[in-house]
Amino acid sequence: MFVVLKQPAQSRVYRSERSSASRAELAYEWKGMAFLSYPPMPPILSFVAIFILVYLVDTSNACGMQLCYDRWRTAQTAAENGLIKPHNGEKPMCVAQRTHLVCLIAEELNCRTNLQYQMTKRGIIHKMTNSGCNEFGDIFNATAVIDRGPLWPVGENLICTFRSKSAEKTPIKYQHCGLFGDPHLRTFKDEFQTCKVKGAWSLVQNNHIMIMVTNNPVKDHGAATATSKLTVVIKKNEDCASHDFVTYRARTDNLPGTFENGQSDVGPDKSVAIRVMDPGKHVEIYLRFIDTTIRVRQIGRYFTFAIKMPQEIVEQSVDDDTQQLCVQGCPEQEQINYKKYLAEKRKILDLHVGDILMTSDQASELCRKSQVVDFYFDSCVFDLMTTGDKNFTIAAHQLVEDLTALTPGIVKTQENRTYLTPYEEIHPSSGCRLKSDFIPWTCALAVLLCFLFDQRNS
């Protein structure tokens, strides 16, 4: 037999009062910097704020304002040098400004939370209106500008003009080399490598010239390295250069417009000369007596390097015993299997997991907008994933422009590929792959669960 004892009403009232009194006492005893404060509630607002910040960072991470600015600078320089000739008779500067605007409009989805983006876009539209420029029309395509005109004195009668030892009717064959990013190398033999090569390394060394680079760790980005110093030494040549060595040296935040002796040219008829293409950002060195052109750019804190050299001069470099990156490539122990890296890390979606600072999807999207393909697309994605620094996107784009300008036919050697799936087939890895928007939704779910838990306990 069960007996149910009903709780007296007075007892319930007493317990209610007792509970209220306990909360009051607890409130009185919980003291912070104020005289009286209540116990801290679960930080729901903090969770909400964190979620909003994560969402804003996720949506603004792919904003390509710097890339658009760089395209505008390239277009403006071309306009100033008379390389832009609009068909409808409008001002070349209108084409440069429109190039900037069109690029920004394409970035609108990624930059919608960026206040600077909104102000920049309005400013360009206002400037174009005041200049009488139409928002619709031609834009500048740097890779389409092949005939840039001579930058240096040219002519068969100039002293110290390079003449090939082969038959006169045979065109001079050129080879090119490029170094950029973390760092990525295209050798004279058109081999593509990603390397560690920390410290000082030789790029080219022969009887006429010596080029060296120093690669240092990228700040706050683990094992990543990039070129922070570049030295060009033109060897003694009393007939066509100088009776002494002529040195050009570039360091981070210092891209000089002259050689170390303060001169911008040496030798008869300026057979060795340096030209500033964009102050502090881009210089070009030309050696007429070996018909060699060197392009150096500073993008962010690091340098890109491109060179065009006659094949018979390159062959002189092969005879040197020094390890030259442009000639022999990186030593095997210094090479990174970037294809395997891209295939394996493509599965990782959470930022800051291991050495990932940007997801593969985010990096790929930025690199597609940078208009790089093939090896340069791979390098761009690699650098963004390992450093998160969007300046490396610009570095890949600019190096392609430089190599195209030096050797227009190089475009035909590239595969029009902007995806990484071939590497997944070569280097398969286990595990499923989630969509890149999974992380913000996870944060939203966490906030909702915290809120429901709080309601249940209140």
Strand (E) or helix (H) holding 205: strand 199-205
Buried b / exposed e along 237-249 (16+ C-beta atoms within 10 A): beebbbeeebebe
Say what percent of the chain tops pLDDT 70: 71
Q: How confident is the model at residue 352 (pLDDT cuts 50, 70, 90)?
A: very low
What lies within 8 Å, CB to CB, of 380 at 6+ separation is 181, 363, 366, 367, 370, 372, 392, 393, 396, 397
Contact 338, 194 (CB under 8 A): yes
What is the pLDDT at residue 156? 61
What is the pLDDT at residue 135? 84
Highest mean pLDDT among 113-117, 155-159, 234-238, 350-354: 234-238
Residue 269, sorted as left (phi over 0), alpha (psi -120 to 50) or beta, turns out to be left
What is the pLDDT at residue 13? 42
Return d(Cα 60, Cα 112) in angstroms, integer: 7
Of 207-211, 310-314, 401-405, 406-410, which gets the smallest average pLDDT? 406-410
Q: What angle do CA 294, 300, 303 make, to 5 degrees?
A: 25
**Which residue has 């603004």 as its token pair?**
60
What is the pLDDT at residue 347? 64
What is the pLDDT at residue 428? 64
What lies within 8 Å, CB to CB, of 448 at 6+ separation is none
What is the pLDDT at residue 416? 86
Contact 140, 96 (CB under 8 A): yes
pLDDT, greater one: 106 or 332: 332
Q: How confident is the model at residue 239 (pLDDT cuts 50, 70, 90)?
A: very high
What lies within 8 Å, CB to CB, of 178 at 6+ separation is 185, 186, 304, 305, 306, 307, 399, 402, 403
- DSSP letter string, 302-343: EEEEEEEEEHHHHHHHHTS-S-BHHHH-S-GGGEE-HHHHHH
Largest CA distance in the chain: 125
User: Which amino acid is present at 439?
Assistant: I
User: Which amino acid is present at 157?
Assistant: N
What is the pLDDT at residue 107? 83
Q: How confident is the model at residue 28 (pLDDT cuts 50, 70, 90)?
A: very low
For 246-299, how does the pLDDT look when each residue is reduced to its tens digit (9 = 90+)? 999 999 999 999 999 999 999 998 999 999 988 889 999 999 999 999 999 999
What is the pLDDT at residue 447? 59
What is the pLDDT at residue 128? 92
Q: How confident is the model at residue 457 (pLDDT cuts 50, 70, 90)?
A: low
Mean pLDDT estimate for the chain: 79
Closest CA to 343 of 425, 409, 261: 425
The whole-number average pLDDT for the span 91-116 is: 87
The whole-number average pLDDT for the span 308-317 is: 92
Q: Could you tell me the CA-to-CA distances from 253 to 126, 219, 250, 300 in Å, in that order?
A: 33, 15, 8, 8
pLDDT, greater one: 167 or 235: 235
Say what percent of the chain tops pLDDT 90: 41
Of 123-132, 159-168, 175-184, 259-268, which gets the smallest average pLDDT? 159-168
What is the pLDDT at residue 71? 83
Q: State yes or no: pLDDT of 455 exceeds 80.
A: no
Q: How confident is the model at residue 54 (pLDDT cuts 50, 70, 90)?
A: very low
pLDDT, greater one: 85 or 290: 290
All structural domains of the chain: 41-145+432-458 (no CATH), 174-333 (3.40.1000.10), 338-431 (no CATH)
Q: How confident is the model at residue 310 (pLDDT cuts 50, 70, 90)?
A: very high
Q: Pull the structure tokens for residue 172.
A: 């001079």
The whole-number average pLDDT for the span 57-86 is: 73
Return d(Cα 297, Cα 34) in angstroms, integer: 58
pLDDT, greater one: 289 or 112: 289
Q: How many residues does the chain have?
A: 458
Query: Chain centroid to CA 53: how far?
Result: 24
Closest CA to 156 of 164, 144, 146: 164
Torsion sign, CA atoms 450, 454, 455, 456:
positive
What is the pLDDT at residue 16? 47
